[in-house]
Structure 1
Amino acid sequence: MEEPLIQDMPTQDRPREKLARFGPAALDNAELMALFLRTGIKGRSAIQIGRDLLKKYGSMGALGKMSVTALAKEKGLGLAKASQLIAAFELGARVAREQFSDVPLDTPELLYDFLAPQIAHQAQEQVLVLMLDARLHHTGTVAISLGTVSETSAHPRDILRPVITHGCYGFILAHNHPSGDPSPSVADERITRRIKEAAELMQVRFLDHLVVGRSSPGRKPYYSFREAGLIK
């Protein structure tokens, strides 16, 4: 049974009024999205469009990693509404990052919590270098490559350049596995060894290499080379 159009819903059940009365936590994801979409299309409310998108893509995280042009092609959206949704997702990601401004990234769990909103749902592999100060606070992130991680796309020269340029205390290498399985590949292990050797040569602290995946029963959503004892 389809939901009624928003204008046909009891006033207290409409997303805007519901938020005003009970707060944002009372709304589900589709209702929150409807507040940004504002209007639906003939026969489908903004809430229904939100539910359709969540059913198709599986999660808010996956939607948030889509490009504006790709999202705009979805039924009931268009460029303006897609832009509004992407802006909302980005604001949420920035708020999440701000929460770590005074938190030392000294455990794989914290690293994952910091990185997951950015890259866990990316459709392509992305290599990031996180720069840290002596208290292990995050001071900056540099995106090195987008696409399959290889010794070409993650060359030690490109990894170490921003670290040396910024004069940071140490750095963390991170990349995602779009499959969601964070188990390291042979290429991941080989690249980690090469960067470890280069960092030792340049006397730069290589603190960890984190492979970011997604949660699944019976496994962690990440793989930490430091936790595995391959970086000391």
Structure 2
Amino acid sequence: MEKSDSQYVVQKHRAIKEWPEAERPREKLLRSGAEALSDGELLAIILRIGNIGRSAEDLGRELLAQCGGLPGLDRMHVEEILSFPGLGIAKAAQLKAAIEIGKRVRIQESRPHSFESSAEVAAYFGPRFESKRYECFFVLLLNGQNQLLAERIVAEGIPTQATIYVRRIMEEALKVSASSFVVVHNHPSGNPQPSSADDETTKDLKSASDVLNLVFLDHIILGKGNYYSYADHKQILNDKGQ
């Protein structure tokens, strides 16, 4: 059974290379699989070495205790990780890269072949927005059967505001010969209710898509554990009745 790091109790150890072989995180992973390791042990493998008086697992446990676990570590910027004693640029980059790989695996495994509802889109994008402190805008480009052709990040903004470039969305849709598209962005506040700026963006997107004979299926705003769909609220109408 996986050992829990829920309390993240910090214990001082000798250097990992001085531990009995059966207790070393890397050897334990090779023997029993990654799922048998605690969060601190997994971080120890990524960090590889500690510093004076602390093993790599000590560093991992202390970091988890400070940031509130792996979700908190995901939300930390590189600059914040660098402020932690014993962690330099290389270790900070390794940590962020490892977390991103895990997120991408989850996203790719959950990617549906087609999108039939706003709930499916929200479920697909939810994980990647969990740690965002600023607004990000994505566009899903679909064919006539609502199958995914491509997805593009359109804009990233400061914590309270982002600018959508309607022209870029249209250009990306034309590049892949998309028939329709869905725009998705997040509200870092956690409240998915649309702002007046969101309303204006939606109107601009609808006008531009009509000119190019593209179907603008939806504009979805993700909050914390919930979302708002313009299509579900009948605020986007097109020839398909959506």
What is the TM-score normalised by the length of structure 2? 0.77
> Which residue pairs with 1:187 in the alignment?
197
Show the counterpart of 2:220: 210
Within 5 Å, which residues of 2 pair with 1:21-170? 21-58=31-68, 60-61=70-71, 63-64=73-74, 68=78, 71-100=81-110, 103-148=113-158, 153-170=163-180
Residues 193, 13 of structure 1: CA spacing in aligned structure 2 closer, same or farther, 3 A cutoff?
farther
CA change 1:4–1:56 in 2 (3 A) is closer
Larger radius of gyration between Structure 1 and Structure 2:
2
Residue aligning to 1:223: 228
CA–CA separation in structure 2 for the residues paired with 1:31 and 1:86: 16
Aligned partner of 1:200 among 210, 228, 242: 210
Distance 1:114 1:13, change over 3 A: farther
Offset of residue 18 of structure 1: 3.3
Q: Which runs of 5+ in 2 are unaligned?
A: 1-8, 237-241
Task: State the alpha-carbon separation in 1 of the partners of residues 52 and 192 from structure 2.
Answer: 43
2:2 is equivalent to residue 2 of structure 1: no
Partner in structure 1 of residue 5 of structure 2 = none
Runs of 4+ in 1 over 4 A off after TM superposition: 8-13, 65-70
In the superposition, relative to structure 1, how do residues 2 and 119 fare at CA in structure 2: closer, same or farther (>3 Å)?
closer
Tell me, yes or no, if the aligned pair for 2:44 and 2:60 is still in contact at 8 Å. yes
Task: Report the CA distance shift for 1:2/1:62 in structure 2 as closer, same or farther (over 3 A).
Answer: closer
Rounded Cα–Cα distance in structure 2 between residues aligned with 1:96 and 1:31: 21
User: Does 105-114 or 79-88 show the bigger shift?
Assistant: 105-114
For residues 93-134 of structure 1, the C-alpha deviation after alignment (integer angstroms, 9 at most, x for no partner) is 332333245532323333233323333312211111121233
**Contact 1:30/1:54 (<8 A) preserved:** yes
1:167-225 Cα deviation digits (max 9, x unpaired):
1121111112222332322322332233123222322111221222333xxxx2x2222
Distance 2:69 2:144 in 1: 36
The residue matched to 1:99 in structure 2 has which SS?
helix
The residue matched to 2:60 in structure 1 has which SS?
helix
CA distance in 2, matches of 1:67, 1:224: 30
What secondary structure, in the 3-state scheme, does the structure 2 residue paired with 1:33 have? helix
Distance 2:63 2:180 in 1: 40
Change (3 A) 1:39 1:161: same
Give how far 1:64 is off: 3.8
Q: TM-score, normalised by structure 1?
A: 0.80
Distance 1:34 1:173 in 2: 39
Provide the identity percentage.
33
Give the length in aligned residue pairs.
226
- SS of residue in 1 equivalent to 2:155: strand
Q: Equivalents in 1 of 2:148, 2:65: separation in Å? A: 35
Read off the aligned partner of 1:228 and give its amino acid letter: H
Kept in 2: contact 1:126–1:147 (CA 8 A): yes
The 8 Å contact of residues 97 and 114 in structure 1, kept in 2 or not, is answered as: yes
Task: Please report how far the alpha carbon of residue 36 of structure 1 lies from its aligned counterpart in structure 2 after TM superposition.
Answer: 0.6
